Structure formats: C-alpha cells, structure tokens
Amino acid sequence: MRNRSVTYSREATFQALADPTRRAVLDLLRRGSQHAGQIAGVFPVSRPAISKHLRLLRRAHLVREHREGRHRVYQLNPEPLRAVDKWLEHYRTFWTMNLTSLKNFVEAEYARETGKQSLDRPAAKNVKGEN
C-alpha cells in the first residue's frame, strides 16, 4: 500500500493551473476520464498542443495516464489541488471577515498610512539589509 499523502510540489501545481486550457482540461476530466483524442477534440488547438498540456498536468500530478489499447486514458487527480486550497485558506479569512475584524484591518492600515501606530506593525520583521 502506498501512503498517498505525498506532498506534491505546490510550485508545479500553481504553474500548471496558470494556463486556461489546462484548467479547462481539468474541468473536463471532472466529468470523467477521457482519452487524449477526446480531450483534444474539445479544444481549438492542435492535438500535439494538448499533448503537451497533458504532459504538464502529468508532471504536476493533476492527472494520471494509463494505456488502454491504443488509447491513453487521462484521469483527474484532484489531490494536489488541496495545497492550493490550503494556501487560499489564509486569504479566505479576508472575505469571510465580519465587519469588526474588517474594522481592525482598515484601522491598522489607516494608522500605518498616516503615521500614527495604534497596532502591531511588527517592527521585528523589519528586514533592512540592502536597499
């Protein structure tokens, strides 16, 4: 048995998601596996182009491929997307914020911008160095 909680590279994942075609491929595969030809048939670009997208998606572990006769079947593997979800979590709080916390935020902002500091502004992190 294979402990499948591998830590896929966040890097490759975000990278793979950067292209709209690739995202569309994932969206397509959500509805079920497809073979390369079918996938290519859906998009307005050449088959080799899709082939390369699939390669990237494979590299990012967002899809798995296996042969089936002379077809290459591609299957979605949503697992790496968890990392993205995780990353997003930090930001989700921003738009889930209630007015109170929002107030804090804006206040801190305002304080910082105007010079007076009524809040944190972690000076400890003040990385100077070379600018």
Partner DNA sequence: ACTTCGCGTAACTGTATGGTTACGCATTAT
Partner DNA sequence: ATAATGCGTAACCATACAGTTACGCGAAGT
Residues that bind a copy of itself (CB under 8 A): 1-5, 10-11, 14-15, 17-18, 20, 23, 26-27, 30-33, 37-38, 40-42, 47, 64, 66, 68, 73, 75-76, 78-79, 81-82, 84-88, 90-92, 94-95, 108-109, 112-113, 120-122, 124-125, 127-131
Segment (H or E) for 28:
helix 20-30
In a 3-state reduction of DSSP, which class is residue 122?
A: coil
Contacts of 97 (CB under 8 A, 6+ apart): 105
- Name the site residues for DNA (rule: CB under 7 A): 15, 18-19, 21-22, 35-38, 40, 45-56, 65, 67, 69-72, 131
